[in-house]
Structure 1
Amino acid sequence: MSLKFFLKQYVRLVALTGLVLALCAGLFAGVSSVRGHYWQEHFPAPLMRWLAAVPQPAEQYHWLASLYDFRVADRAELALSPVIAERLSYGQVVAQATGLGQRILVRNDVGEILEIHFRDTYRDVAEALALISAWHLNDVLPGQRDDAMAEMSEHFGVGLRRLEDPARLPSAEVLQRVMDRGIAFHRAGPGGPGGALIRLQDGTLVSLDLPPPFNRWSWPVLLMLVLVAGGILAAALFLLLRDVDQNLRAVESVAMRIARGEMGARVEAGEGALVARLADAFNGMAEHIQRLVGVQREMIHAVSHELRTPVARIRFGVQMLESCKDQASLQKQLDGIDGDIQELDELIDEILTYARLEQGGPVFNLQEASVTDIVRQVVSEQQLIRPEVSIEAEIAADSEPWALSDIEPRYIHRAIQNLVGNAARYANSNVRVYCHIDEDTCRVDVEDDGPGVPEQDWEKVFTAFARLDDSRTRTSGGYGLGLSIVRRILFWHRGQAFVSRSPRLGGARFSLVWPRKKLDDSIM
C-alpha cells in the first residue's frame, strides 16, 4: 500500500468522521433545544392550569408572589408579542427564557394573564406544588385527605401519598428541613427523579413524587443519533463500494474483450480510483500479453521464412549426393549440408534465446562482477575470430575503481559480444570498444568504421528479424535477432541500448547504458 493512497483514505475517513460528529452535534443541539423548551412548558402546565382555574389565585396563594414573583395582569401590562398572545388565547402554557430562569405564562377564563418566575423549574415547581398541596390538605378533614390527594395527584400529574412506612423515610437532613419549613425538596440522585416531603399541621407526612426531570440523553435521542450516524456511514460505504464495483466491472469488461481477441482494450481508471493500481497492473499485463502475441506471430512468420533457405539447401544437397561421382564432390556436398545444419542450430539457439528474454526473461542472478574484465575478454575473443579487423578496447582512466557492477555476467558478455561481432562484420578495418563507468552508471560504446546505420533505421535495427537489406545479414551470417537480444538483456538490467553515428570512426556506434547497482525492485 502506497503512502499516498493511505493518506488519501485517512483524510477521507477523518473528514467523514468530522462530518458525522458535526451533523450529530448540530442535530443533538437542535433536538435538545426543542425538547428542552417543550419540557419547560409541559412540566409546569398542570400547576399553571390549576392556578388559572382558581378564582383569585393571587389572594388565595399569596405566598407565591414572594417566592416566585407570581402575579395576575392583563395583556397590555405585559406587552406580549402577537405570537405569544395568540398561543395564550389557545389555552397554551408559554415559557420564556430570562436571565434569571424561566418566565411561565398562562391565560385564565376571564382573559387575565398569570405570570410566574422559576429559577430552577424542576425544583421550584415541586416546591410550589408541595405548598399548594399542603394548603389544601390542611384545610380538609383527615378522613377526606385521601380523596383530596387522589384528586390533586390526577390534576398535577404527580404522586401524593401518606408516608407511613419508616423504611421509606428520607435522610435525616430532609426530615430536619421538613420540621423547619413544613416542606423539603429531595432527589434520588444526580439526574434522578425528585420529590417533596410535606408535613401537615397534625404532623402527618405526605410524599409528593415527581416524574423524572428533563434528560437530554434519553434513549430515543441516542437511538436517533445512532441511526443518523449509521445512515451516513452506510451511505458513505455504499458510495465507496459502488465506486469499487464500477471499477471492478470495468476491469471485468476489458478482460472479456481481451478474451474475445480485442488485444488493444485497456482499463481507464483515474488517479483517484480505489482500484487504480489494479488497473495499472492489468493494463501492464495486457500490454505484455499483446506484445507477446505480436512477437509470437512475428516469430512464427519470420522463423518459417528463415528456415526455408537452409532446409532447401539441405534438401538440394541430399539430392545432389546421388549424382556425386567422386569422393571430392561427395565431401563437398556433405560439408555444405553440415554447414547448413550448423546454421539451423545457430538460428534455433538465437530464436530460443530471444523468446526466453522476450517472454519474461531468465531468472537473473545479479552478482557483482567486473565490467572492464568482461569488455577485455570479449575484445580478446573477437580479435581471434576476426584477425583481419583491428578490435581494441579503451577503458576510461577513472572507470577501474567503479568496475564492479551488479550484473548477470553471462548475459552482459552476450550483449557486448553481439555488438562487437556485428561491428567486426560490417567494419572496414577498425572496431573500438569504449568503456566508461562512474559511481552510478555503466556505459559501453562499440564503434566501427563501416557504412553505419541510416538515422531513419536507428530504431528498426532493434526489431526482431528486421533486415535493413539482404546483403547486410545473409552474406554476413546474421538472422536479425542479435540486436533484439541485446536490447532485451539491457531491459532486464534496467538499462537501454541505442544506436547513433560514431563521431570518431564515422560508422555506427552502438551504446549500452545501465545502472551500476541494482535498484530496490530489480528482477532477481
Structure 2
Amino acid sequence: MPLKFFLKLYLRLLGLAALVVVLCFTLFSGLNSVREQSWQEYYPAPLLRWLAAVPSPQQQYPWLLAHHDFRLVERGSLDASPLVQERLGYGQVVAVQTELGWRLLVLSPSGEVLEFLFRDTYREVAETAALIALAHLSEALPEDRDPLMAELSSRLAITLRPLASERDLPAEAVLGQVSERGIAFYRQGDSGRVLLRLADGSLVNLELPPRFDSWHWSVVLLLLFVAAGVMGAALLMLVRGVDQNLRAVESVAIRIARGELGARVEESGSTLVSRLASSFNGMAEHIQRLVGVQREMIHAVSHELRTPVARIRFGVQMLEGCDSAEALQKQLDGIDGDIQELDELIDEILTYARLEQGGPVFSLVETSVTDIVRQVVGEQQLIRPGIVIEADIAPGSEQWAMSDVEPRYIHRAIQNLVGNAARYANGRVRVRCQLDDDNCRVDVEDDGPGVPEEDWEKVFTAFARLDDSRTRNSGGYGLGLSIVRRILYWHGGQAFVCRSDDLGGARFSLVWPRKKSVV
C-alpha cells in the first residue's frame, strides 16, 4: 500500500473519530444540561408543593430557617425573568442555576413565592422530607403511623418503611448520627437513604428515588446510535465512491468487450481505485496494441506469403516443360529456395509474435556481453567475407562484461543488427561495446546509405520496409528490427537508430541495465 494513500486514509479516520467525539460530547453536554434542569425541577417538586400548601411553613416547621436557605417573597418583588414569572403562574416548580447552587421557586396558593437555595439538591431535599416525616410521625399514635407513612410516601414521592429486623440496620456510624440528630443520610447503591428515629425510639427508613445520572442507559444508547450513524454515513460515502469507481471500470470493460478498444477509465488521484484504473488502462492499451499487431500481422503475412507461394506454383508448372536434367534441377533448386524462404519467414513471424504477445519466459543469467559480441562478429564475418566486420570493445568495459541477460535473445538482437548493417554496408561494419557499472550499450555502425531521419522510428515497425523494391536476395521481411526492439523491451532497455558520425551510415544502438532490479 502506498504511504501517501495510507496517510490520507489514516488522517480521514482520525478526522472522523474527532468528529464523532466532538459531536457526542456536544450532544452529551447539551442533553444532560436539559436533563439536569428537568431533574432539578421534578425531584424537589413534591416537597415544594407540600410546603407551598402549608399556610405558614416557617411556623409549622421552625427548623426550616435553621437548616436551609429558605424564604417567602411576594411575587411582585421577585427578582426573576418574565419566563420564570410565567411558569410560576402556571403552578410549575422552577429551578434556576446560580453560582451558589440551584434556586428552587414555587408559587403558594396565597400568592407568595417559596424560594429555596440547594447546594446539594439530592441530599438536602431528602433530609427536608425526612424532617417533615419525622415531625408528623412522632406526633401520631402508633396505630396511625402506617396510614400516615403511606400518605407521606405518596405526597412526597418517597418510600417510608419501619425497620422490621436487625438485618436492615445500616452501619454503626449511621446509627450514631441518628442518635445525635434524629436523622442520618446515607447511600445504598445508586440511591440515597435517610434513617429516622421517632420520639418513642422506633426506627423508620426513608428510601429515595435514584439521583441524577448523567450516564443513564438512554443517554449512552443515544450516543451509540449517533456515533454509529455518523460512522455509517461516512462508510456509506466511502463505499459509494468506491462503488462508483468500480462501476466506471465495469462500464469501460463492457465497452471494450463490445469492440470499443479505445475506451479508457478516467484516472483521478483522489479515487481509492486509481491504481486499479491505471492498471486497467495499461491492460487495455496492451490489448489494443496486441489486436492492432495481430491485424497488421495478418495483413502483412498474407502479403509476404503470396510471393514465395506464387514462385513455388510457377516453379511446379515449369517442371512439366523441363526437357533436360539440368533444367529440372534448376527448377527444383528454385523451389527448394522458396521453401527455405517460407521456413525462415514463419520462424521470424513466430518469434515476433511470441515477443509481442507477452514475451518468452526469460531466464536471465550472468553472461559476458563482450563474448557475445565477439561471437556474433565472428559468425557474421564468415557469412559475409566481402564485408569488414570488426568488434570495438571500449577501454575498461571488460571489468563490467558480466550482465544479467538471456544470452540466446541478446545474441539474436545483436546478430540481427549486424546482419542488417552488413546487407547495406559498402564495405565496413563496426560493433562497438561500451559497458559500465549501470548499463550495457552496443552500437552497430555501417558505411552504407544510412536511414533518413524521418524514418528512424518507422524502421522498428513490423513488416516495414524503406525500400519496397528489395527482392529476397537483398534480404529481410521487415521483422528483424521489430524483434530487436521487443527483446530489448523485455530486458528493460531500448533500441534506437541515428546517423554514424565516423562511418557515415546508420548507427543502431542497444541500451539496457547491466543488472536486473531486486524486488
> Shorter-chain TM-score: which interval?
over 0.9
Q: Which residue of 2 aligns with 1:317?
A: 315
Q: Which residue of 2 aligns with 1:14?
A: 14
1:300 lines up with 2:304 in the alignment: no
1:168 lines up with 2:168 in the alignment: yes
1:467–1:473 Cα contact (<8 Å) kept: no
Distance 2:315 2:244 in 1: 65
Q: Which residue of 2 aligns with 1:377?
A: 375
- From 270, 277, 280, give the equivalent of 1:279: 277
1:76, distance to aligned residue in structure 2 (A): 5.1
Distance 2:278 2:167 in 1: 78
Q: Which residue of 2 aligns with 1:93?
A: 93
Q: What TM-score do you get using the length of structure 1 for normalisation?
A: 0.96
Q: Which residue of 2 aligns with 1:2?
A: 2
Q: Where do residues 32-181 of structure 1 align in structure 2 (5 Å cutoff)?
A: 32-75=32-75, 77-181=77-181
1:247–1:269 Cα contact (<8 Å) kept: no
Q: Which residue of 2 aligns with 1:352?
A: 350
Gaps of 5+ in 2: none
- Alignment deviations for residues 70-106 of structure 1 (CA, whole Å, 9 cap, x no partner): 1111245442122222222222212222333222111
1:472, distance to aligned residue in structure 2 (A): 5.0
1:490, distance to aligned residue in structure 2 (A): 0.6
Q: Which residue of 1 aligns with 2:499?
A: 501
Kindly provide the amino acid, as one letter, of the partner of residue 144 in structure 1: D
Kindly provide the amino acid, as one letter, of the partner of residue 388 in structure 1: G
Could you say what secondary structure the match of 2:114 adopts?
Answer: strand
Q: Where do residues 361-376 of structure 1 align in structure 2 (5 Å cutoff)?
A: 361-376=359-374
1:309, distance to aligned residue in structure 2 (A): 0.7
Kindly provide the amino acid, as one letter, of the partner of residue 295 in structure 1: V
Could you say what secondary structure the match of 1:380 adopts?
Answer: helix
Could you say what secondary structure the match of 2:262 adopts?
Answer: coil
- Aligned pairs, number: 519
Q: Which residue of 2 aligns with 1:412?
A: 410
1:334, distance to aligned residue in structure 2 (A): 1.2
1:458–1:498 Cα contact (<8 Å) kept: yes
Q: Which residue of 1 aligns with 2:484?
A: 486
Q: What TM-score do you get using the length of structure 2 for normalisation?
A: 0.97
1:216 lines up with 2:230 in the alignment: no
Kindly provide the amino acid, as one letter, of the partner of residue 214 in structure 1: F
Q: Which residue of 1 aligns with 2:263?
A: 265
Percentage identity across aligned positions?
A: 70
Distance 1:479 1:473 in 2: 10
1:442, distance to aligned residue in structure 2 (A): 1.0
Kindly provide the amino acid, as one letter, of the partner of residue 96 in structure 1: V
1:426, distance to aligned residue in structure 2 (A): 0.8
Could you say what secondary structure the match of 1:413 adopts?
Answer: helix
Kindly provide the amino acid, as one letter, of the partner of residue 4 in structure 1: K
Q: Which residue of 1 aligns with 2:466?
A: 468
Distance 1:520 1:267 in 2: 31
Could you say what secondary structure the match of 1:73 adopts?
Answer: strand
1:3, distance to aligned residue in structure 2 (A): 2.9
Could you say what secondary structure the match of 1:443 adopts?
Answer: strand
Kindly provide the amino acid, as one letter, of the partner of residue 250 in structure 1: A
Distance 1:424 1:92 in 2: 112
Gaps of 5+ in 1: none
Distance 2:471 2:107 in 1: 115
- Alignment deviations for residues 4-52 of structure 1 (CA, whole Å, 9 cap, x no partner): 3333222222222222222112211211111112111211111111111
Kindly provide the amino acid, as one letter, of the partner of residue 448 in structure 1: D
1:434 lines up with 2:432 in the alignment: yes
Distance 1:98 1:397 in 2: 95
1:129, distance to aligned residue in structure 2 (A): 0.6
Could you say what secondary structure the match of 2:97 adopts?
Answer: strand
Q: Where do residues 446-457 of structure 1 align in structure 2 (5 Å cutoff)?
A: 446-457=444-455
1:440, distance to aligned residue in structure 2 (A): 1.0
Structure 1 residues 166-175 or 1-10, which shifts more? 1-10
Could you say what secondary structure the match of 1:71 adopts?
Answer: strand
Could you say what secondary structure the match of 1:70 adopts?
Answer: strand
